[in-house]
Amino acid sequence: MNTLDPLVQQAWQVLDTLTDPEIPVVTLRDMGIVREVFHHEDALEVIITPTYSGCPAMEQIEDDVRSTLQTLGVPVRVTTRLSPAWTTDWMNEAAREKLRAYGIAPPERCASGAVNVVQFAPRSAAKRGASDQPACPRCDSKHTTEVSHFGSTACKALYKCLNCLEPFDYFKPY
Amino acid sequence: MDTPVTPVQAPQDYLLHLADNALVLGQRNAEWCGHGPILEEDIAMANISLDLIGQARLLYQLVAERRGDGCTEDALAYFRDVPQFKNYTLLELPHHGPLVGYAVSERDYATTLVRNFFYSALMVEVWSGLLDAADSALAAIAERSLKETRYHLRHSHDWLIRLGDGTEESHRRVQAAIDHLWAYTLEFWSASPVETAAADQGLDMTAIHAAWQRTVAAGLAQATLHQPADDGYVPQGKTGVHSEHLGYLLAEMQSLARAHPHGQW
């Protein structure tokens, strides 16, 4: 059950080919969804942590993990771990860069101290310091504004760049 | 806590109360799917519903697993009837004000947003309290749900201000929704066997009530809206005594599963 176990290493190699069904440029490992792999006597166990309770991609992800690991010829068990809850802070630097290149503004780091504070949205970009705004993934300008709290998937909000005028998805810090 | 912590399972009726709240409101809000007043809000409601139904699923799965004997999340969601549902009455009401007899009305978005504001302001406090629940599986679900609920509160709070401090028409309609729904929030604070049995999970409803009042009062004040007095009939949805609206909601939600009782999809 340690990382030097050849079967566990092999499993990670296979898992590294799996991408997020909604954002095909990042892997499940980059996203921080696949947490750990254990080699038990009876099976390989893969721990995954869901992003959002209602994310329709989660069942697809579970199926993908199970069917991909079957190629190793050992029984596989996928276990869902809820706590600690998934956070965008688990996303690695490589993933952030890949998101930006794909046209999605990557999430800011969550302020750890503010976990229990309900933060309300400012009503306009003017009321918020320009440095707090996500940068446009196309022209890198921070002169951007939120169009909608909710975007094309549960994990994103819709923004608009006031510099190049392109709309873009922002991965919500979560 | 001074005494050694032993795993304590929260009463199943309490888990069902939390699950039914999320499922019934998720189903109601999903009625806006394809009918939202603007595209962004259509998407917002669909997203919020997905989160709520996802929360309900986690709770139903937990209850089903503990009951064993072939019980499933689908059995709990689709094969129970009105008196077995333990959701707050507030959450089953249609998206419009009171009507006479069986008159029908268009959906009113102010009613939707005010209800979401009252409920998410409550659940931010409840989920926060349940982070320390003696039942660790429930605490894990709370940790997951709290993040989502904070975002829902942010959404409805923003709209409350935009509509309340907006035009004469939007102000009038959001105030009418508050006047209609306020009495239903009294159910949050009345004692019930379901909640009494869950007292060992460590929720302090008096503190939650105070925190909820602060959030709501601040939101209403900023939105230039008026808070009604606490009076009127206190609904008892959480004890299984519901309004006439829940039956229609369940009929629509459950009909497919009941037409194909062993269907797998």
Does residue B7 lie within any of the structural domains?
no
Q: What is the pLDDT of residue B105?
A: 84
> In terms of CA atoms, which chain B residue is nearest residue A80?
B58
Residue B1 has pLDDT above 70, yes or no: no
**Are β-strands A156-161 and A44-48 bridged in parallel, bridged antiparallel, or unpaired?**
unpaired
Higher pLDDT, residue B4 or A137: A137
Kindly state the average pLDDT of the residues B110-128.
Answer: 98
Does residue B5 lie within any of the structural domains?
no
- Taking the Cβ of residue B49 and every Cβ of chain A, the question of whether any pair is shorter than 8 Å is answered with yes
Q: What is the pLDDT of residue A116?
A: 36
Chain B residues whose beta carbon lies within 8 Å of the beta carbon of residue A53:
50-51, 54-55, 57-58, 144-145, 148
**Domain extent for B41:** 12-259
Kindly state the average pLDDT of the residues B251-255.
Answer: 97
Three-state DSSP class for residue B170: helix
Sign of CA dihedral A144, A146, A152, A154: positive
Residue A58 has pLDDT above 70, yes or no: yes
Which member of A54, A121, A149 has the closest CB to residue B50?
A54
> In terms of CA atoms, which chain B residue is nearest residue A147?
B40
Does residue B136 lie within any of the structural domains?
yes
Lowest mean pLDDT among A130-144, B22-36, B201-215: A130-144
Three-state DSSP class for residue A95: helix
Q: What is the number of other CB atoms lying within 10 angstroms of the CB of residue B15?
A: 25
Domain architecture of chain A: domains with CATH: 6-86 (3.30.300.130), 104-171 (no CATH)
CB within 8 Å: A83 and B144: yes
The residues near B206 (Cβ < 8 Å, ≥ 6 apart) are none
Which member of B124, B128, B148 has the closest CB to residue A53?
B148
pLDDT, chain B, mean: 93
> In terms of CA atoms, which chain B residue is nearest residue A121?
B154
CB within 8 Å: A119 and B44: no
* Per-residue pLDDT tens over the stretch B125-168: 999 999 999 999 999 999 999 999 999 999 999 999 999 999 99
CB within 8 Å: B40 and A158: yes
Under 8 Å between Cβ of B11 and B194 = yes
Q: What is the pLDDT of residue B88?
A: 98
* Rg of chain A taking only CA atoms, in angstroms: 18
Under 8 Å between Cβ of B135 and B42 = no
Chain A residues whose beta carbon lies within 8 Å of the beta carbon of residue B129:
none
Does residue B134 lie within any of the structural domains?
yes
Which member of A53, A83, A118 has the closest CB to residue B124?
A118
The model's confidence at residue A3, banded by pLDDT at 50, 70 and 90, is low
- Taking the Cβ of residue B152 and every Cβ of chain A, the question of whether any pair is shorter than 8 Å is answered with no
* Per-residue pLDDT tens over the stretch A94-108: 899 999 999 999 998
Residue B40 has pLDDT above 70, yes or no: yes
**CATH label of the domain that carries residue B33:** 1.20.1260.10
Sign of CA dihedral B69, B75, B77, B80: negative
The model's confidence at residue A129, banded by pLDDT at 50, 70 and 90, is low
Q: How far is CA A52 from CA A76, A115, A152, in A?
A: 24, 17, 14
Chain B residues whose beta carbon lies within 8 Å of the beta carbon of residue A172:
151
Does residue B264 lie within any of the structural domains?
no
Does residue B1 lie within any of the structural domains?
no
Instruction: Tell me the three-class secondary structure of chain B, residue by residue.
Output: CCCCCCCCCCCHHHHHHHHHHHHHHHHHHHCCCCCCCCHHHHHHHHHHHHHHHHHHHHHHHHHHHHHCCCCCHHHHHHCCCHHHCCCCHHHHCCCCCCCCCCCCCCCCHHHHHHHHHHHHHHHHHHHHHHCCCCCHHHHHHHHHHHHHHHHHHHHHHHHHHHHHCCCHHHHHHHHHHHHHHHHHHHHHHCCCHHHHHCHHHCCCHHHHHHHHHHHHHHHHHHCCCCCCCCCCCCCEHHHCECCCHHHHHHHHHHHHHHHCCCCCC
Q: What is the pLDDT of residue B53?
A: 96
Q: A40 to chain B nearest CA, in Å?
A: 23
Under 8 Å between Cβ of B93 and B243 = yes
Confidence (pTM): 0.89
Q: How far is CA B17 from CA B10, B23, B38, B195, B255, in A?
A: 11, 10, 32, 9, 22
Residue B255 has pLDDT above 50, yes or no: yes
Q: What is the pLDDT of residue A114?
A: 44
A residues 73-92 closer than 8 Å to B (CB) = 82-85
Question: What end-to-end distance do the CA atoms of chain B give, in Å?
Answer: 45
Under 8 Å between Cβ of B45 and B116 = no
Under 8 Å between Cβ of B226 and B182 = no
Kindly state the average pLDDT of the residues A59-66.
Answer: 91
Higher pLDDT, residue A174 or A36: A36
> In terms of CA atoms, which chain A residue is nearest residue B148?
A52
Q: What is the pLDDT of residue A53?
A: 79
Helices and strands in chain B: count of H runs, count of E runs: 9, 0
Number of structural domains (chain B) is: 1
Q: Which of A23, A71, A75 shows the shortest CA–CA distance to A46?
A: A75
CB within 8 Å: B53 and A52: no
CB within 8 Å: A118 and B215: yes
Lowest mean pLDDT among A18-27, A36-45, A48-57, B172-181: A48-57
A residues 93-152 closer than 8 Å to B (CB) = 116, 118-121, 123, 147-152
The model's confidence at residue B6, banded by pLDDT at 50, 70 and 90, is low
Which member of A53, A147, A154 has the closest CB to residue B55?
A53
Provide, rounded to the nearest whole percent, the portion of chain B with pLDDT above 90: 84
- Taking the Cβ of residue B264 and every Cβ of chain A, the question of whether any pair is shorter than 8 Å is answered with no
Kindly state the average pLDDT of the residues B240-245.
Answer: 96
Does residue B242 lie within any of the structural domains?
yes
Chain A residues whose beta carbon lies within 8 Å of the beta carbon of residue B154:
118-121, 149
Structure tokens at A81: 């771990």
